[in-house]
Structure 1
Amino acid sequence: MRKIILVGHGDGCIGMKKSAEMILGKQDHLVAIALKESESLNDYLKKVQTSVDEYKKEGYDELLLLADIKGGTPGNVATLLGKQHEYIHVIAGYHLAMILTACINNQISGHDLLEESNQMIQKII
């Protein structure tokens, strides 16, 4: 089983989760952990690590951490945890179509999710 964790600055990741659930319905395997303006990197790391530990105890054997941007605090926390645990996969630069794809196809690999998501970004006009 895989848990998808959205990490990001402020309420953006919470809004993405709500948007995904508006389209797909309730997603028990999708969570959002927002970085608050008042939190330090260490505070946020502890918060995300606590959630990761809880999900591992619940029986999730894979965690997909999707970060809003590479190089920000949420992305750095996700990267640090991904380097510490082989069952954690990290992708930075999520968008709604990527989240929907990950929710619909809970078996898609991180590599394939990235490939498919990149194809969804297109200039229309």
Structure 2
Amino acid sequence: MVNILLLSHGPFCEGLLASLEMIAGPQKNIQALQLHAGQSPDDYRDKVDEALVALRGETMVFIDLKGGTPYNTAGFLKSKYSFDLITGMNLPMLISVLTMRTEESSVAELSKIALDPLNAGIELINLSENGGKKHAKLSLNKD
């Protein structure tokens, strides 16, 4: 099974993992590793290095944004390990990847899913379109 490592500034990656497991259930072969405020880049690189060693096998690394310490850390370690590095991680993207991940899935297949524009999760919702004010239904109650 393809391993997944989530990296971010602060607890964003841990929150994403918690939300993901709330929606999709407990997951195997996935880990989140945040960069703590004040943590040195060298210390963070050592932690990510340890995580990559422990994962063993095909791996995808998801990053919150391109250009920061988590991204630079993964970019540096890419010379030592083989993994796909994907920036801009978000909940719709991870749900799509994890619900399609099987024992037979490859990193290439899952990376294609992650990069599908439909997984960006960004759209403008106009609830008042087509006449009058409408409200989103927030529950299954009839009220």
The answer to whether TM tops 0.5 is yes
The amino acid that maps onto 1:44 is Y
Match of 2:38 in 1: 38
Letter in 2 for 1:124: I
Instruction: Supply the distance in 2 between the matched residues of 1:79 and 1:117 (Cα, whole angstroms).
Output: 23
Correspondence for 1:117: 119
SS at match of 1:78: helix
- Structure 2 residue identity aligned to 1:69: L
The structure having more radius of gyration, on CA atoms, is: 2
Contact 1:68 1:92 in 2 (8 A): yes
Q: How far did 1:63 drift?
A: 0.9
Gaps of 5+ in 2: 127-143
In 1, Cα distance between the equivalents of 2:112 and 2:78? 15
Choose which of 70, 93, 97 in structure 2 pairs with 1:74. Answer: 70
Q: Compute the displacement of 1:100 (Å).
A: 0.8
Question: What is the aligned counterpart of 2:91 among 91, 96, 99?
Answer: 96
- Which structure: greater helix fraction? 1
Aligned-residue Cα RMSD (Å) equals 1.5
Shift of residue 82, structure 1, vs aligned partner: 2.5
**Equivalent residue number for residue 105 of structure 1:** 100
- Residue 113 (structure 1) shift: 1.8
Query: TM-score normalised to the size of structure 2?
Result: 0.76
Unaligned residue ranges in structure 1 (runs of 5+) = none
| Structure 1 CA distance for aligned equivalents of residues 78 and 17 of structure 2 | 21
**Structure 1 CA distance for aligned equivalents of residues 98 and 77 of structure 2:** 21
Bigger RCO of structures 1 and 2 (CA < 8 A, at least 6 apart)? 1
| 4+ residue segments displaced more than 6 Å | none
> How big is the shift at 1:26?
0.7
Identity rate of aligned residues, in percent?
31
- Structure with the higher strand share, 1 or 2: 1
After TM superposition, give the deviation of residue 112 of structure 1 in Å: 3.3
Q: Where does residue 47 of structure 2 map in the other structure?
A: 47
- The TM-score, its normalising length taken from structure 1, stands at 0.87
Q: SS of 1:111's equivalent? A: helix
- Give CA deviations for 1:30-80 in whole Å, capped at 9, x if unaligned: 210011112111110100000100111xxxx21110000100101111222
Post-superposition CA distance 1:64-121 (Å, at most 9, x none): 10000100101111222234323x1100111101111111112233133212424x43
Q: 1:25 corresponds to which letter in structure 2?
A: G
In the alignment of these two chains, the number of paired residues is 119
The answer on 1:65 being equivalent to 2:61 is: yes
